[in-house]
Structure 1
Amino acid sequence: MKHFIYVALFACLTNTVMATATLSGIKSIPPQEKRYQVAVDFVNAYIQNCNNLNKSEEIRAWVKNNSMVTDSFKKEVIAMVTQAWKDDPELGLDADPIFDAQDFPEEGVKLLQYNENTGYVEVQGIQWTDFKLTVKVITQNGKILVDGCGIINIPESERSAR
């Protein structure tokens, strides 16, 4: 909860425009940009779950119960993690598929940039600014939802550099 309060406080206090990239279709993001806020909300909610240590919900259950993601995203996470546990019952996956990494910014993420033509959003760690993660958002039945994040439904060519 403490991490969530710091993230909320940071979001309220900052009114700067995030960094711009020069690729076609990519724009700077004011913090109040609603269309792409679901990407930040989703990743920060997942971080909050992961920060709960022994009380955190297992990834498949957490995603299955999440209203910010598409059914396609849910099916892909469940299938990937289930197969990984079958293939290696001791380890499963060697990294978190949502973070596309083993570590994550415990303090949360903020919007960095987006491409309105593709729906790809890049978020960045608030304190760990070298941590970047690609999220894909789509509009489905009038709702903006996460359809990809990390290695889930994100082609390797669109993933954030590691």
Structure 2
Amino acid sequence: MNSVEAELAELRLTLRQANENLDRLERKIADSRNLSGQETGIKDDKPDSIDLIERAEKFLEWGRLKSGTLDAGNGLFTDSCWNMCLDIFLCGLKDQQVTVSAIAHSSGIPMTTAMRYINVMVEQGLLQKSSNPADHRMVFVAVSQNCRTKIERLLFSAPL
């Protein structure tokens, strides 16, 4: 197994574990609410788009500030997958279509790495690809409904 395949396998495992943990926590929170009737940190209310856009933009800004401040050029403090996913989520909130190549370019990581991460997130059901009917060379990417719901809950529950 070469280093790219190993990195891809590790990324798939990490995303799968993160999804499983998030699902487990959501079930635990739901069970807790059902048993105790107490309020938890994650809200079920539907947040409005303006609030979500502001929160998502703050998270992206904070992530860039964090990596810009702490990263010594080795990428240790970047959250590439999260940032790409959040950026795609934001485009969806703003009713903007985003191409795979545009999001890969804006991620600030090498194009091949970004494309590999996007493909893994598609395999994990976090993102969806669709062809541009006007130009079949161009592929759009969007967050899945399941991913959108999870990001909304995270953003709505996160302290700002």
Q: TM-score when scaled to structure 1? A: 0.30
Q: Which has the higher strand share?
A: 1
Name the larger-Rg structure: 2
Q: Which has the higher helix share?
A: 2
